[in-house]
Amino acid sequence: MPRKVILAANWKMNLTMKKSTDLVDDILNKMKNKDNCEIILFPSFLHIPAIMEKIKGRNIGLGGQNLYFEEVGAYTGEIAAFQLVDVGCTHVLIGHSERRHYFHEDYETVNKKVIQALASNLKVMLCVGESLEERENNVTEMVVVDQIVSAMQNISIKNLNDISIAYEPIWAIGTGRNATPADAAHVHKIIRKALGRIFNTDAAAGISILYGGSVKPENIKELMAEEDIDGVLVGGASLKAEPFLDLMKLIN
Ligand code: PGA
C-alpha cells in the first residue's frame, strides 16, 4: 500500500486567536480540494476549538503540540489526551526537539506520551532528530535509532497505522539551514530499518516518515523527490497562507 503523503503545520507558540483563525480561513478559501496529501494543523491548544469549527467537513487533521501522559487528575497546567479528543483533535505531536530540549522530556516521558495518545485514539506524530554536536560527532544514526526504539517500547504492531515519524535535525529547525535531501533520506532509511527490526519490514514500509527543519516552497520539491521522504512538518513557512498553499501545491 502506498504511504500517506502528509503536510503538517506546527504553529508552535505563535499567533493570536484572530491571526490563527484568519490564517485557517485564508487557507480554506484558497486551497484546491485536492487529495494529493493529508493536511494536519498543530495550532496553540487555546485555538483548537475555534479552528475545529472552521475545518469541519474539510478533511483536515487537527492536533495538539503536546499532551500529558497521565490519564486524568491533579496535574495543574497539563492537558490530557481525552481532552484533545473531546475538542475534536485527531492527532498529537510528541517528542518535538523543543519539548525534549527546553522541557527536558526524556525517552521514558516520550514513550509514556505515545502510549497514552494511542490508548486515547489519537494519531501520533513522533519527532526525532539529532543536535548539531551529535551530527558533528557522527552519532546521528545512533541518536535517532535510540529515540525510535525508546519511544516504541510496549507499542503493539496494531498501532502502527496511527503513527507517523517526523525526522527533524535540530540544527535545521528555524535556522534556514536544511539537511540535503540525500542526507535526510539516508536518515529516513535508517529510521525505517529500525522500525523494521522492532516490528517487521512490511509494517515499517507502511509508516509515513516526514522531514522537518526549514522546509519552504523553494526546497520541498527536492526533498519530496526522495523515495523515503513521505511528507513534511513545517514551522515558519506554515505561519502565512501563501507559502503554506504553495507547499500544498508542490508536495507532489
Ligand atoms: P521550521 O520548524 O520549519 O521553522 O524549521 C519545523 C519544526 O520545528 O517542526
**In this predicted model, what pLDDT tens digit does every residue of 188-218 receive, in sequence order?**
999 999 999 999 999 999 999 999 999 999 9
Number of domains in the chain: 1
Residue among 162, 148, 144, 153 nearest 89 (CA): 162
Q: Is 225 exposed, middle or buried (0-12, 13-18, 19+ CB in 10 A)?
A: exposed
Selecting among 98, 105, 168, 226, the annotated active-site residue is 168
Reported confidence tier of residue 111, pLDDT bands at 50, 70, 90: very high
Mean pLDDT of 217-235: 97
Identify the domain containing residue 183 by its residue range. 5-250
Q: Residue 14 in 3-state DSSP?
A: coil
Task: Give me ligand 1 centre to Cα 200, in Å.
Answer: 30
For atom 3 of ligand 1, which residue has the closest CA? 235
Tell me the average pLDDT of the chain: 96
Reported confidence tier of residue 34, pLDDT bands at 50, 70, 90: low
Catalytic (active site) residue 227: no
Catalytic (active site) residue 96: yes
**Beta strand spans in 123-240 (E):** 123-128, 163-167, 209-212, 231-234
pLDDT tens sequence across 143-188: 999 999 999 999 999 999 999 999 999 999 888 887 899 999 999 9
- Among the atoms of ligand 1, which is closest to the Cα of residue 213? 5
Phi and psi at residue 119, in whole multiples of 5°? Answer: -65, -25
Q: Quick one: pLDDT at residue 148?
A: 98
| Ligand 1 mutation pick, 7, 42, 215, 216, max ligand atoms within 8 A of CB | 215
Residue 171's CATH number: 3.20.20.70
